[in-house]
């Protein structure tokens, strides 16, 4: 089961090969054609989704999934699919600024939703994958740093509801002052579980003293948690307590059918 978790997570990573001999040259030789092909698919998606408010802003994942789905099985990809090279959806961080969905076609990086943050730039971008400032998601610290910039959130470790920590490691505050639990990205969660929660353990160990939810925000969250029917205990603690008790408990249960069902494996 743990291998399956790691397989699920790695399925969304940008990979660096090795590639069949001559693959990069054949793809680059047809890069202009591929650009037009993917532009055609993007226009098709635009026709389907153009009615959405503020489209294409904020529709990166939806557009990427749809373009990839349309690309699968196309005759013009056959030269590479017979070599086992198919368009794969990837997900990570770009330029240490954005959470990014894209497509990898062997050594090519294809962003079919390039204009979903800045609508004035071309809708599609194709680059050699090794030229892209990309980071595969595996580090809660990286996620926290990018989320602060990209999502405009103040993010703190979840030391208030520790039993949820492996799944909900953050408490976030939006610009309006709303305080809420923030769940893990699936790819980090899968990698963390496959590592026996070593990723969470290392991140907690490296937190600076005093890196915790501000008192005013903690009080607001405690009030919300106190509402009738909330199923979990409010139990503020130190990061060391999570390392010493919560993570070992999850490690012990990791192969249980109940916990594995949550990972959707």
**Residue pointed to by tokens 């349309």:** 70
What is the rounded distance in angstroms from the CA atom of residue 234 to the CA atom of residue 161? 6
Q: Above 70 in pLDDT, residue 264?
A: no
Q: What is the pLDDT of residue 258?
A: 65
Q: HEC states along 191-236?
A: HHHHCCCHHHHHHHHCCCCCCCCCHHHHHHHHHHHCCCCCCCCCCC
Query: What are residue 101's DSSP bridge partners?
Result: 91
What is the rounded distance in angstroms from the CA atom of residue 84 to the CA atom of residue 56? 32
Q: For residue range 93-118, what is the model confidence (pLDDT) as tens digits?
A: 999 999 999 999 999 999 999 999 99
What is the rounded distance in angstroms from the CA atom of residue 166 to the CA atom of residue 138? 13
Report the pLDDT averaged over residues 147-158: 94
**What's the predicted TM-score (pTM) here?**
0.88
Contact 109, 132 (CB under 8 A): yes
Q: For residue range 32-66, what is the model confidence (pLDDT) as tens digits?
A: 999 999 999 999 999 999 999 999 999 999 999 99
Using alpha carbons only, give the angle 29, 33, 38 rounded to the nearest 5 degrees: 125
- Angstrom CA distances, 108 to 19, 103, 146, 184, stand at 11, 8, 24, 28
What is the rounded distance in angstroms from the CA atom of residue 156 to the CA atom of residue 186? 18
Ordered strands of the 179-182 beta sheet: 154-157, 170-173, 179-182
Binning pLDDT at 50, 70 and 90, where does residue 6 land? confident
Q: What is the pLDDT of residue 233?
A: 81
Q: Above 80 in pLDDT, residue 257?
A: no
Q: What is the pLDDT of residue 17?
A: 84
Q: What is the dihedral of CA 95, 152, 113, 43, to 10 degrees?
A: -160
Q: What is the dihedral of CA 51, 53, 58, 62, to 10 degrees?
A: -30
Helices within 72-139 (DSSP H only): 78-81
Q: What is the pLDDT of residue 1?
A: 62
Rg of the chain taking only CA atoms, in angstroms: 21
Beta carbons within 10 angstroms of residue 28's beta carbon: 14
């Amino acid at each position: 089961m743990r291998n399956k978790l790691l397989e699920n997570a790695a399925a969304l990573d940008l990979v660096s090969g090795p590639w069949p001999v001559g693959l990069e040259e054949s793809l680059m030789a047809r890069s202009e054609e591929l650009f037009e092909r993917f532009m055609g698919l993007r226009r098709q998606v635009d026709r389907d989704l153009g009615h959405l408010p503020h489209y294409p802003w904020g529709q990166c994942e939806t557009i990427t999934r749809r373009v990839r789905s349309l690309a699968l099985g196309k005759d013009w990809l056959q030269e590479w699919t017979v070599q086992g090279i198919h368009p794969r959806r990837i997900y990570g961080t770009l330029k240490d600024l954005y959470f990014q969905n894209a497509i990898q076609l062997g050594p090519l990086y294809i962003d079919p939703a390039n204009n979903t943050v800045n609508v004035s730039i071309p809708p599609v971008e194709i680059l050699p994958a090794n030229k892209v400032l990309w980071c595969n998601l595996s580090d809660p610290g990286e996620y926290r740093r990018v989320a602060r910039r990209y999502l405009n959130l103040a993010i703190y470790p979840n030391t208030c509801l520790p039993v949820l920590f492996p799944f909900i490691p953050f408490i976030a505050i939006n610009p309006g002052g709303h305080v809420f639990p923030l769940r893990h990205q699936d790819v980090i969660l899968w990698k963390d579980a496959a590592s026996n929660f070593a990723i969470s353990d290392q991140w907690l160990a490296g937190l600076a003293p005093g890196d915790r939810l501000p008192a005013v925000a903690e009080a607001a969250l405690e009030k919300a948690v106190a509402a009738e029917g909330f199923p979990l205990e409010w139990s503020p603690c130190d990061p060391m307590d999570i390392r010493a008790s919560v993570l070992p408990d999850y490690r012990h249960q990791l192969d249980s059918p109940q916990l594995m069902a949550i990972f959707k494996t």
